[in-house]
Amino acid sequence: MLHTHIYNDIVPPYAAVAVTACADAFGCNSHTQRFWSAVDCCMQHSWCGILVWANPPFSMIAAILRHFLRCKIAQPIGTALLLLVPIWDKEWYRVITSMKLTFERIRHFEPNSSLFTAPPLPANGSEGRRLCGSTNVAVEVYYVSVSSPNA
């Protein structure tokens, strides 16, 4: 889960996020009250007309990106995305970076950034989340506007 203070710094200018797309089954890593998980897969839902936060598992980035783009094409106005992805030499990353009128890079984090948290370890009985360590690759956050008809 992206650290809450980083998420809260990124999101406010872009309107209210309606749903977190890739949460755990209990929503413990969701930044929103409404969330989708492996139990309630985000790709089984329409993203049309809402702003979605997605920090997807790396193995699902391509499929989630395809699903979002289908929804954006179906309803260009109102369908929006905040997407956190690693900078990797993958086809999905080339799609994002080639669609500059659609995907606006709003944040870049260098490798070794401390960005993510995890639930507390049960053994220590502490409450709240704990830092997971630093990233080994650069990470970026992209925004697709609610008003952008481009897809």
Q: Could you tell me the domains of the chain? A: 4-144 (3.40.50)
CB 64 within 8 A of CB 137: no
What angle separates helix 91-98 from helix 61-74, to the nearest 10 degrees?
40
| Mean pLDDT value across residues 63-70 | 97
Q: Where do we find the tokens 């659609």?
A: 102
Structure confidence by residue, pLDDT tens digits, 86-130: 999 999 999 999 999 999 999 999 999 999 988 776 655 556 788
User: What's the pTM?
Assistant: 0.91
Question: Pairing mode, if any, of strands 80-86 and 35-37?
Answer: unpaired
